[in-house]
Amino acid sequence: MASTLNSSNRSPLTSPNNRYLVSLKNRIDREADLTFLQDDGFRHLETFDLPEKNFPGLQGDIVLVELKDSNLASDALSELQQDPRVAFLEPDLEFELADDFQPSDPVEAEQSADTKARNRPNDLSNRQWGLDNGNSTDIDAPEAWTRSIGRRENGPIIAVIDTGVDTSHPDLKDNLWVNPGEIPGNGRDDDGNGVIDDVHGFDAYFQDGDPEDGHGHGTHCAGIIGATGNNRRGITGVNWQTRIMPIKIFDNSEKPKTSSSAILRGIAYATNNGARLTSNSWGGPSYSSAVQRAFSSSRAFHLMGAGNDSQDNDEKPFYPASYRTNNSFSVAAVDRRGNLSDFSNYGDQTVDLAAPGSSIYSTLPGGGYGNRSGTSMATPHVTGVAGLLLSAAPALSNNQLRSLILGGVVPKTDLQGKTVTGGMLNADRSLDLLFREIERES
């Protein structure tokens, strides 16, 4: 990660671009409540759209400001930091997409022994070892698909907060969220949500309604969650049918960059526009109080990659996975043998579970497919299973979702002491738990 700033360096707290995030102690009712920012030497740029109804745990608003005169930085910053209305002040940090998108050799799944009822789509590729193989190191997707294959109509909206998504990919285009109130291409914000022509999602970096993938990472993650299943094409996602909402937070450079402010915009848009889940395959060592507050107070459930530095996150945090909110998971990666992937971060206190992440075959921009490795690929497997559960039982609370996924985890020797659960994701067992509960209640 490129960030050179960290909130643990309390003094001096300066930002190279003179932009700062201010977490306020209270909600602001009127613009006039923000005049003190001017008085302290700052220009108010943006108040993030984090309303009480969608971010019920958030005590006060979060605003983006710019320092007017960088020569006065230390005085202005200490004045603002001491203001009784300010809870927290931090630079608007920059982040790079973690370097975890290495092409890898294909791995073919072995034939699975049929012991249970299975439902195989016609496009389950034998390269999708994470969904089905003969070694008990898959997530038992065909067994789970006897109960849930995901859902489009009224199914859970799943935000992929990433580099964007190839929205014309033939294996993704039918599984995108469609903004019901927005008329495409008329240059107007028909639904009044602040974004013009946001038909399928949002570009939170460039702030427009076109979240096209400038890189490839987001398209790969989206296909794992929900490439269209049983359409005789390419691959199947964990969900054959779903509603993916692409939220682009990165720019289009070769090493994509984002900022705390773009991340906040992305979380805000996803939550405000109905996302039930967000999938976050990115991160780094820099802590942002504002980003933590937004995630923890959002009504959605958030899946987060543990990172690819082969490190112990209990010792060295990797954010956002290490924010450890009640409505999120931190996900490590396993290989085809069910061992922790050599690149994967781990932590028996701070990483919840593992999922397939080595040599994962999924969608790429331009209608293509390919193999990639990373906790970035593990995370959307968990997001996908959460999508299957919510498709079968839309009213599940975050706590129920959490316990169904953790309760379904299969212990693996190599993961003992490496994750909180010591095991890996299993779609079939989580769906079984859900249906046993449903039967008990009926």
Residues lying near Ca ion in the complex (CB under 5 A): 123, 138, 140, 171, 182-183, 186, 188-191, 193, 195, 197-198, 228, 231, 233-234
Q: Alpha helix locations (H) across 6-161?
A: 35-39, 73-82, 141-144
Q: Is 23 a catalytic residue?
A: no
Cβ-in-10-Å burial (0-12, 13-18, 19+) of 78 comes to middle
Residues 6+ apart with CB under 8 A from 237: 150, 175, 223, 224, 225, 226, 227, 228, 229, 384
Beta strand 94-96 with 42-47: parallel, antiparallel or unpaired?
unpaired
Question: Contact at 8 Å (CB) between 357 and 339?
Answer: no
Q: Is 302 a catalytic residue?
A: no
- Rank residues 202 and 250 by Cβ distance to Ca ion and give the closer one: 202
d(CA 436, CA 171): 33
- Rank residues 33 and 189 by Cβ distance to Ca ion and give the closer one: 189
At closest approach, how far in Å is the CB of 5 from Ca ion?
Answer: 33
d(CA 383, CA 392): 14
Q: Is 162 a catalytic residue?
A: yes
d(CA 224, CA 434): 22
- Rank residues 66 and 123 by Cβ distance to Ca ion and give the closer one: 123
Catalytic residue (choose from 162, 352, 428, 432): 162
Region class of 185: left (phi > 0), else alpha (psi between -120 and 50), else beta:
left
- Rank residues 347 and 380 by Cβ distance to Ca ion and give the closer one: 380
At closest approach, how far in Å is the CB of 361 from Ca ion?
Answer: 12
Catalytic residue (choose from 169, 200, 215, 217): 217
At closest approach, how far in Å is the CB of 15 from Ca ion?
Answer: 30
Helices 375-392, 427-441: axis angle to 10 degrees equals 20
Residue at 332: amino acid letter: A
At closest approach, how far in Å is the CB of 3 from Ca ion?
Answer: 31
- Rank residues 49 and 138 by Cβ distance to Ca ion and give the closer one: 138
Residues labelled as active-site residues: 162, 217, 376
